[in-house]
Amino acid sequence: MKWIGVLSLVALSECLVTIPLIKIKSMRENLRRRDLLKDFLEKHPYRLSSKFYKQSNSEVTYEPMRNYLDLYYVGNISIGTPPQEFKVIFDTGSADLWVPSTYCSSKACTTHNVFDPRLSSTFRSTRQRIRLIYGSGIMSGFLGYDNVQIGSLVVVSQAFGLSQKESNKSFENGTFDGILGLAYPNIAFRGSTPIFDNLWKQGLISQNIFAFYLSSNNKKRSVVLFGGVDPSYYKGDLKWVPVTQRGFWQISMDSISMNGKIIACKSGCQAIVDTGTSLVIGPNDPILEILKTINAQPISSGEYIVNCSSVDTLPDTIFTINGIKYPVPASAYIQKYNSDICYSNFEGMVANSDVWILGDVFLRMYFTVFDRANDRIGLAPVVI
């Protein structure tokens, strides 16, 4: 539930109790993330990800995404006729699609691509207002319908939000224009049909599933797959976990252990699998227990750091789900800032909720299949 940089796109209005929606991070934290991002963008201009992506499996649509500093993953879509292009986060923690519009004067809209409905011959407007609240920001605007293209797939007459206002802080400096939600329709805005449901209903995909491969450091291209899986991204077999509540992609977790001891989620807990959240987020007390185990120290921004020279000796954090152990090593749950400062990638929940959020820190280790046909999630270790 942090600011720019560490992103949480869990749709808050429906879950995780109410307010306080957003924990305002200290200026230092903001500066740190911002500097990192600026640096990164200068060193990695766009050509990095502009290679043609080879389709190895004709049944599956590969939508490439770019990894921004391990904070979020962004892919291209287009809306309207002729197409207008946008960069969006493919977010399993929410169910709506929205992009900035020409009717928006928020700072966040002046720095991003905006949709101009007057330039699209297939656009259909409504008077319906839309307002979406995320862990990291708020947008409001109105609902429209138009054709939306993801890779080679064109969804006809897709409902989407055209923003008129966006909270300044969260979306302003993001390298994405909008958000494309992939959660279940019952958390979509007032019964509008999410884009994945339309991909299936309009017969554009052959299986009612999608899957994520989130790379570390762009070594291999990050990708979201629509309509199937590609075993070249993972090792061994997929292990399946039933969805416990169809809204978020929510599952039961057995326990969390370190050093052979269960240290959190002791009598089982619920977890949301969320590609739109950067870190692993949990209830405050268990998170503190984990931080104590890795000897992390709080700093004034509220974050926790560890001595970088200890990272090699820190134990794996093991998430046990449906009887299977999913280890996450220190190299994944610690973010190295420089040779002296290493940040913990665990964060306590702002809202008073018992639900864990398994974000990108976890998902970079495990290829993840979201199976709408059987209401289950498949996990297998990634091929790096």
Ligand X SMILES: *[C@@H]1O[C@H](CO)[C@@H](O)[C@H](O)[C@H]1NC(C)=O
Residues taking part in catalysis:
91, 274
Does residue 55 belong to the site contacting ligand X (CB under 6 A)?
no
* Cβ burial 338-364 (10 Å sphere, 16+ → b, else e): eeeebbbbbbbbbbebebbbbbbbbbb
Closer CB to ligand X, 276 or 378, in the complex: 276
Does residue 95 belong to the site contacting ligand X (CB under 6 A)?
no
Q: Give the binding-site size for ligand X (rule: CB under 6 A).
A: 18
Interface pick for ligand X out of 13, 57, 76, 202 (rule CB under 6 A): 76
Interface pick for ligand X out of 29, 62, 64, 361 (rule CB under 6 A): 64
* Minimum distance from residue 271 beta carbon to ligand X (Å): 28
Interface pick for ligand X out of 19, 43, 45, 46 (rule CB under 6 A): 46
The site map against ligand X for 251-290 (x = CB under 6 A) is ----------------------------------------
| Three-state DSSP class for residue 342 | strand
* Minimum distance from residue 170 beta carbon to ligand X (Å): 8
Does residue 107 belong to the site contacting ligand X (CB under 6 A)?
yes
Binding piece for ligand X, criterion CB under 6 A, among 42-50, 312-320, 361-369, 370-378: 42-50
Interface pick for ligand X out of 2, 25, 32, 66 (rule CB under 6 A): 66
* Minimum distance from residue 169 beta carbon to ligand X (Å): 4
Interface pick for ligand X out of 18, 309, 352, 374 (rule CB under 6 A): 309
* Cβ burial 75-109 (10 Å sphere, 16+ → b, else e): bbbbbbeeebebbbbbbbbbbbbbbbbebbebebb
* Minimum distance from residue 5 beta carbon to ligand X (Å): 8
* Minimum distance from residue 195 beta carbon to ligand X (Å): 18
- Around Cβ 293, how many Cβ atoms within 10 Å? 17
331, 342 Cβ separation under 8 angstroms: no
Q: Look up residue 192 and give its DSSP letter.
A: P
Interface pick for ligand X out of 8, 30, 101, 368 (rule CB under 6 A): 30
Binding piece for ligand X, criterion CB under 6 A, among 17-25, 118-126, 168-176, 254-262: 168-176
Closer CB to ligand X, 23 or 107, in the complex: 107
Closer CB to ligand X, 49 or 147, in the complex: 49
94, 196 Cβ separation under 8 angstroms: no
Q: Look up residue 215 and give its DSSP letter.
A: -
Round to whole Å and give the CA distance between 170 and 4.
Answer: 5
| Count of residues in the chain | 384
- Which pairing describes strands 178-181 and 84-91: parallel, antiparallel, or unpaired? parallel
Q: Is 194 exposed, middle or buried (0-12, 13-18, 19+ CB in 10 A)?
A: buried
| Three-state DSSP class for residue 175 | coil
Binding piece for ligand X, criterion CB under 6 A, among 155-163, 165-173, 188-196, 278-286: 165-173
Residue 377 token pair: 């999630």
The site map against ligand X for 116-155 (x = CB under 6 A) is ----------------------------------------
Closer CB to ligand X, 170 or 250, in the complex: 170
Token pair 């011959």 is found at 121
Does residue 78 belong to the site contacting ligand X (CB under 6 A)?
no
Does residue 307 belong to the site contacting ligand X (CB under 6 A)?
yes
What Cα–Cα distance (Å) separates residue 77 from each residue in 87, 140, 265?
6, 21, 38
Round to whole Å and give the CA distance between 258 and 194.
Answer: 38
DSSP 55-111: P--TTSEEEEEEEETTTEEEEEEEETTTTEEEEEEEETT---EEEEBTT--SHHHHT
The residues with which 277 forms a beta bridge, in sequence order, are: 8
Closer CB to ligand X, 106 or 353, in the complex: 106
Does residue 220 belong to the site contacting ligand X (CB under 6 A)?
no
* Minimum distance from residue 340 beta carbon to ligand X (Å): 6
**Which residues contact ligand X (rule: CB under 6 A)?**
4, 30, 34, 46, 49-50, 64-66, 75-76, 107, 168-169, 172-173, 307, 309
